[in-house]
Amino acid sequence: MRRLLVLQHVAHEILGTLDPLLRAARCRIRYVNFGREPEARPDVARYDGLVILGGPMNCDQVERYPHLDHEIECIREAIRHGRPVLGICLGSQLIARALGAPVIRNPVKEIGWYDVTPTAAGAGDPLFRHFAGTEKIFQWHGDTFGIPAGAVHLASSPDCANQAFRFGDNVYGLQFHLEVDAPMIHRWLHAPVNCRELEGLRGRIDPARIAAETPRHIGPARALGDRVFAEFIHLFDFRHRRVALPSR
């Protein structure tokens, strides 16, 4: 049975639709919720793979969230050992930072349903070949990552050029949320920290519109997510190259 480490930041951001796929593939999942255990220091070497979830903080808030530095070291250790690694939203930004790329404020916040289009390289990627051209994907982010040196740029949106990348053949960063279902989106729209963020945007993003659009887009997005995540899980079947990363 494979052992998978999941780094979590807030209670409402979970594996979502990825969870049953991992369990069906006989993965034993250990969550580390830094919101509840900020002093946790998991040993990534004990696990066969790593998933880093999203959260409302940003990569530069290390003084307030010291665990972010430890997470970056966990990511670097997992990459060095050739483990499959998946980062979602904040998780993708932490992978980019671990690989030496910048994480900066995006020109606009993307919250809701947005077009995401694979790049030419993405069209040939094992995960992104399942995109049927441009797809409507759920987003909730204000920051964006640079594409790390040596990584492959996989997808973009009109308002955020860097939506996904692959490093090697086993490390993926996804700015968007393919793991959500309709109940998760409902919880996110009503989570206090997210409500405060939406209120601060002074009507520029309408949560009622997001809720109204969700029934139309969630079915195709979930079907796409199942195909994309199945390909990621398939990475556990192979031995991946160890990588010597430069010191930070």
**Domain CATH code at residue 95:** 3.40.50.880
pLDDT tens sequence for the chain (248 residues):
899 999 999 999 999 999 999 999 999 999 999 999 999 999 999 999 999 999 999 999 999 999 999 999 999 999 999 999 999 999 999 999 999 999 999 999 999 999 999 999 999 999 999 999 999 999 999 999 999 999 999 999 999 999 999 999 999 999 999 999 999 999 999 999 999 999 999 889 999 999 999 999 999 999 999 999 999 999 999 888 888 887 77
Which phi and psi (to 5°) does residue 149 adopt? -60, 130
13 is catalytic: no
89 is catalytic: yes
Tokens of 50: 């790593």
Residues 6+ apart with CB under 8 A from 107: 159
Q: Which is catalytic among the residues 70, 153, 179, 217?
A: 179
Residue 16 within any structural domain of the chain:
yes
Residue 247 within any structural domain of the chain:
no
CA distance 5 to 44: 7
Residue 27 within any structural domain of the chain:
yes
Number of domains in the chain: 1
Q: Which is catalytic among the residues 67, 70, 177, 217?
A: 177
CA distance 61 to 69: 10
Residue 246 within any structural domain of the chain:
no
Please give the order of strands across the beta sheet that includes 135-145. Answer: 27-33, 2-8, 49-52, 85-88, 171-174, 160-167, 152-157, 103-118, 135-145
177 is catalytic: yes
Domain span at residue 13 reads 2-237
Tokens of 139: 């987003």
Q: Which is catalytic among the residues 12, 89, 130, 160?
A: 89
Residue 245 within any structural domain of the chain:
no
Q: Is 144 helix (H, G, I), strand (E, B) or coil?
A: strand
Residue 244 within any structural domain of the chain:
no
Residue 242 within any structural domain of the chain:
no
Residue 248 within any structural domain of the chain:
no
